[in-house]
Amino acid sequence: MCLMAVNKLNRGMQLMSILNLKKIAIYFLMIMLAVIFVFPFMIMLGGSLNNRTVLVASPSMWIPETPSLKNYRSIMNDELVLRWLLNSVVISAIPVLTSIIICCAVGFIFAKKRFWGKQVLFWMFMAVLMIPSQMTLIPRYIMYSKFNWIDTYWAFLVPGIWSVMYMFLMRQFISTIPDSLLDAANIDGCGDFRVFAEMILPLCRSAIATVATLSFVSKWNDFMNPLIFTSSDSMYNMIVGLASMLQKTGNFGIQMASAVVTFLPTLILFIAFQRYFTEGIALSGIKG
């Protein structure tokens, strides 16, 4: 009797230790992978705080002995870099604002309104998502040079006023709003404009947050469009500016500090709105 109890206890403990071992193994794997994933970011941060101009391969390189902000000071005194930052803010922030309003309005129409040709129009919009953006780069370049838009903000602000992807996200979200809510507002005699401004927009807060973060980050990180549609270096955005630095100077510290500065807005948004990023990716399949 007693023996059986001991046996049982033993088996129970064995099972527990196996479970624990499994847990430990999983944590070990997760931490190892995390180290690999974070490693490039550590190099970036460490390098930016370093005084050295070339990378010296020893562990001391990413834990600088005497961390200094010299590199940051020098890029923050660089008028060109400040200009790149300003350009990035302009061509990221303004399209986000217009996109939110327009995508929400169009999404509302496709989710809740009925009119002739709606399905055809919707699928025509959606079909464009299959077109790779590189495909239209050449015709757009020729168009914009005819408009005299090359090397100006217009080449980014006008075409980027809304996007099909975010309209689709909005439509999906607005579809979940119960019709009865809108009907009640209609009976009360609210026109579509008031319904949109006073009901739809406030109800869409979380969808708007998703669209705002995703579109800001994708515009901030945009490389191809600014590369093609700018010609003078004072019109680069921060990303193209960083790329041009990578191809010219070989100063490790300065390059890493610029990379950190370019990365910072994304990181802050990511930490603040993590949920929206992963949800947005799962929903739409866009990659930051």
**Interface with other proteins in residues 18-57 (CB under 8 A):** 23, 26-27, 29-30, 33-34, 37-38, 40-41, 43-44, 47, 54-57
**Is residue 3 near other proteins by the rule CB under 8 A?**
no
- Tokens describing residue 177: 């709003």
Query: Does residue number 126 form part of the binding site for other proteins (CB under 8 A)?
Result: no
For residues 144 and 136, give the distance between their C-alpha atoms in angstroms, rounded to a whole number.
12
Tell me whether residue 67 or residue 250 sits nearer to other proteins (CB atom).
Answer: 250
Residues 208-227 that bind other proteins (CB under 8 A): 217, 220-221, 223-224
Q: Name the 3-class secondary structure at 206.
A: helix
Taking a C-beta distance cutoff of 8 angstroms, is the pair 100, 160 a contact?
A: no
Radius of gyration of the chain (CA): 26
Q: Residue 107 in contact with residue 163, Cβ under 8 Å? A: no
187 binds other proteins (CB under 8 A): no
Residue with tokens 């059986």: 4
Interacting residue with other proteins among 77, 134, 176, 180 (CB under 8 A): 134
| Segment near other proteins (CB under 8 A); pick from 10-18, 68-76, 79-87, 158-166 | 158-166
Residue 215 neighbours by CB under 8 Å, 6+ apart = 95, 96, 99, 163, 166
Site residues for other proteins, 54-113, by CB under 8 A, read 54-58, 61, 102, 105-106, 109, 113
* Nearer to other proteins (CB atom), residue 92 or residue 173: 92
